Structure 1
């Protein structure tokens, strides 16, 4: 049974596997395209449409279409369609189901085991929500890995004999991050990462849509705002995306804006577009510079390559600006598909290693032979290591005994090596306490802060304390952040052995909720 890699994107998604000659191959959808728009059209309570048709339907049925759901992952932001609230995990599950079903049609094999990629800057909550989306879709999620790692795996396969320090600049449809990595002997080590999961190509689209609407309003001041009409807005946003893509290859282009029977013809040059969105690009440069400064503090003084990932890196100004700011020449490496291909390679390799660990070398040899791997390649895969880092800081909320001021004490810090296991004692502040509330938080801003307002609550629970204990009674707290960035927290009272185990549960979806959603959504037709 083949294993698959899935790039679950904000605007487009795709799925890949390792074919019979060992090549990572993207599987086309039923519409014949490599990528599928991450758009869901709730045509009826029992029928959901995903992809290009759903995107087209947004113009006619804007209230029944959901897009950019990736930006909601890890948040309690359900969307109500046909009277039923759908969580971000459930909506993402429909996209995953479409990818898996189309891949099964293409290969004749059911898609069961998958690796799903996420932005490097996704925290524990978003990663856990992505894992749950896969489970709701009926898939076995082998692992969640960062998109830059997947891209680096693809890069490493294309350049197998080269040890390199690379900077991955990943500008996708809805997220942006930069990651510094070392590739040595096939092993991958993440040095540091940074990013913004509220910044991506969709923001360039939005800026263009606002510009087109403003030009229309200037020409037709007595007409309504096209962005306030759901149908006109959807068409305008589609035109804006097409305009962005066109201006990546042409110096100028003309768009017709239609609303309330009025028409405006808007001509825009590439130079004007770049000026209009300069601040967005500047934000990516600021993050890139910050990442390089962090890497410099860890001993990285030079780079062999800058690898561009994500469809939005096709904008010429990206390469031009990176060259100007950092004197580095970026290389565009299959930006739309590199992540899915890398995830497929990782899925294949992890399956091979898992079989070896399970004491099943014959099965490992079987899949290696099917992929045409040499003995040397098998040895390299068996020994390959991938070392990554925490994308955010994680801690718990503590209260000062005297001032009663609440603050955050971080146990894991951004760019700490993973997996990370930290155990630390905390203490009650009052005599006779019968319990303590353990609040687990994750860094929400771009820098670490001990102010609870600058952190997001991702889990909480109450640990019982034996009666009659004095103030200062110890509580042992353990953070375990695995290599995939998924977090588990345990609080323990030593005398009784009472334990509180906190699994990250955002959006109200427990494992029981996931099982119920999986059963309910399995009855929905996805096409």
Structure 2
């Protein structure tokens, strides 16, 4: 009996996924329900699920449950798959998700949803497997697939994606980089013989920039740059944060992040605003929230302009241009060496991005060379068909073709000091690491020896600064001394180590008594620094607000019962605030738990 199975190309995207086949020299999109070409990369877990049997809902039933149980609708698994729970990007994204993510075995992030009789957990591999299962169900006999992944996916992320395909019942013939798939689609559509092209791929959650040489139907990746956590979802989150802050300024008791249903609705509204502003100059945001205590409603109704949106995302957009700089620089190229710019990814519809690209390359950019949404799936399908003929268009890209610079644990390439790093341990500031210093090995280290600036001090203090267009303290290390000592008799050895992941490790040893103190800081120079700082600020603000409410209640009680004792404890906590490590999630959770217990008492 003849084998009727077909091989497909799948673009497993952050927000949407597509599936194509290439037969008889013809590309064919495999459409899903309601003849839709793009399938949302999200699943809805039924509340009747158990840990042994997870059930997924679709259609009207799924939409109805999501309105009442938003925490069971999971999206953007591509931003989670293959990562660890301790990954700083996951910690940041937790802030914007209406669903719950918990730590599983081996630091694996797991989605925790409401099931029958209790919580049910599943992994990003499980979620991606269900999305792939859905895509494969659109056509009979889909057995084999080529799946695309970001060029900057680490081996763990690629392996997890392959595992998801296997769970879906597919034989994964290969995973290929998304920008290379786009280059193949461009080659096929325009019958290119010999060209050097730049592929600029900005999708829902990842960014890739590849310099590709096409020669007689073969593809060679010259350089690859990008970020595995930068895309349209981050633009959505910027709008969410903007509107949330506006609402909180007007109504301090209304916090969108405190209500999952509000957060889910606002996330959808932010995406709608982003899409609309690609065609219109303004978008009217109408959003109603409810105070969880008083049940009073508040409606935010304001015009959101394209100019405001551009301000929110411009820093991230400029970062993508920096990656193009690096990609060209590695080959010693200028924009004049590039024959064509192939642009893909839904986020490239944003007018600011289109204008920035045209300005950068000093030429008009043709954004219709390929289908922005489907080129990656098309290229994967063409590659899959050629692979079945034993014609590998790109070779073993994982080990030999793609030559990338060192990347951080979170996917952001870092090989230069992002800004001047200064320290002060006495009278004057000293520059320890200079901006643009290249980290050729795994790390660079600087050692210093010093004494106390004054006699009879009870502690040694070291301040750390980052210096850009302004000077900002990013960390303080303090080493307590057992007894007051004379300045001339003191001696401290200091070690400053900055690794290629952007982690600054500082160690101070007191040579008088052998005591030691350490401090670790992140010096990446990208948007993540700022976002984490904002999250830590909000954690502290939340704790301070609970402290104020608790103190007000206790003051009204006078000297009743344990009121005096609790007031004393609140004063102690207030004194501890400057020293609390708000980046330590467990410490903050314990603090807020104690404050809430005092408030409720």
> Shorter chain as normaliser: what TM range?
0.5 to 0.7
Q: Calculate the aligned-residue CA RMSD, in Å.
A: 2.8
| 2:69 counterpart (52, 57, 61) | 61
TM-score (norm 2): 0.59
1:414 corresponds to which residue? 404
Cα distance change of structure 1 residues 200 and 127 upon mapping to structure 2, 3 Å threshold: same
Does structure 2 retain, via aligned residues, the 8 Å contact 1:445–1:454? Answer: no
Aligned equivalents of 1:61 and 1:238: distance in 2? 15
In structure 1, the gaps of 5 or more residues are 354-381, 394-411, 417-440, 457-527
Q: Contact (CA 8 Å) 1:40, 1:91: kept in 2 or not?
A: yes
CA pair 50-308 structure 1, distance change in 2 beyond 3 A: farther
Matched, 1:193 2:224: yes
Q: Deviations over 1:325-363 (max 9, x none)?
A: 23143332211001111111111110122xxxxxxxxxx
Of 76, 80, 87, the match for 2:112: 80
Tell me the residue number matched to 1:343. 380
Alpha-carbon contact 2:223-2:403 (below 8 Å) kept = no
Corresponding residue number in structure 1 for 2:43: 40
Cα distance, 1:254–1:442 mapped onto 2, change above 3 Å: closer
Aligned twin of 2:256? 226
Q: TM-score, normalised by structure 1?
A: 0.67
Which residue of 1 is the match for residue 414 of structure 2? Answer: 447
Give the paired residue count: 377
The 1:183/1:305 distance shift into structure 2, 3 A limit, reads same
Shift of 1:320: 0.5
Deviations 1:78-101 (A, max 9, x none): 212333321221111011001111
Equivalent residue, structure 2, for 1:314: 349
For the residues of structure 1 that align with 2:60 and 2:269, how far apart are their CA atoms? 15
User: Is the Cα contact below 8 Å between 2:228 and 2:411 reproduced in 1?
Assistant: no
Q: Once the 2 structures are TM-superposed, how far is the Cα of residue 293 of structure 1 from its aligned partner?
A: 1.1
**Would the alpha carbon gap of residues 56 and 92 (structure 1) be closer, same or farther in structure 2, given more than 3 Å must change?**
farther
**Structure 2 portions without partners, runs of 5+:** 84-107, 291-296, 416-440, 444-497, 503-601
Alpha-carbon contact 1:305-1:329 (below 8 Å) kept: no
- The whole-number CA distance in structure 2 between the counterparts of 1:53 and 1:147 is 34
1:189-227 deviations in Å (ceiling 9; x for gaps): 111101111111000001111112222233x32541123
CA change 1:115–1:199 in 2 (3 A) is same
Distance 1:241 1:179, change over 3 A: same
Instruction: Quote the Cα distance in structure 1 between the aligned partners of 2:409 and 2:307.
Output: 40
8 Å Cα contact 2:147-2:172 kept in structure 1: yes
Q: What is aligned with 2:478?
A: none
Give me the whole-angstrom Cα distance separating, in 1, the residues matched to 2:197 and 2:180. 11
> Among residues 212, 229, 232, which one is paired with 1:181 in the alignment?
212
Tell me how far apart the structure 2 counterparts of residues 17 and 350 of structure 1 sit (CA, whole Å): 13
Alignment of 1:15-30 (within 5 A): 15-19=19-23, 21-30=24-33
> In structure 2, what is the equivalent of residue 502 of structure 1?
none
Q: Distance in 2 between matches of 1:53 and 1:248?
A: 32
Report matched runs for 1:95-494 at 5 Å.
Answer: 95-101=131-137, 103-104=138-139, 109-218=140-249, 220-260=250-290, 261-296=297-332, 302-332=337-367, 333-353=370-390, 382=391, 385-387=393-395, 389=397, 414=404, 445-447=412-414, 450-451=442-443, 454=500
Which structure has the larger Rg over C-alpha atoms? 2
Q: Distance in 2 between matches of 1:314 and 1:58?
A: 29
1:94 corresponds to: 130
Q: Kindly indicate whether the alpha-carbon contact (under 8 Å) linking 1:121 and 1:196 is maintained by their aligned counterparts in 2.
A: yes
* Structure 2 Cα separation of the partners of residues 56 and 273 of structure 1: 31
Higher relative contact order (CA 8 A, sep 6+): 1
Going from structure 1 to structure 2, the CA distance change for 1:351 and 1:442 (only over 3 Å counts) comes to farther
Instruction: Give the Cα separation in 2 of the matches to 1:144 and 1:414.
Output: 17
Assess, with a 3 A threshold, how the Cα gap between structure 1 residues 337 and 84 changes in structure 2: closer, same or farther: same
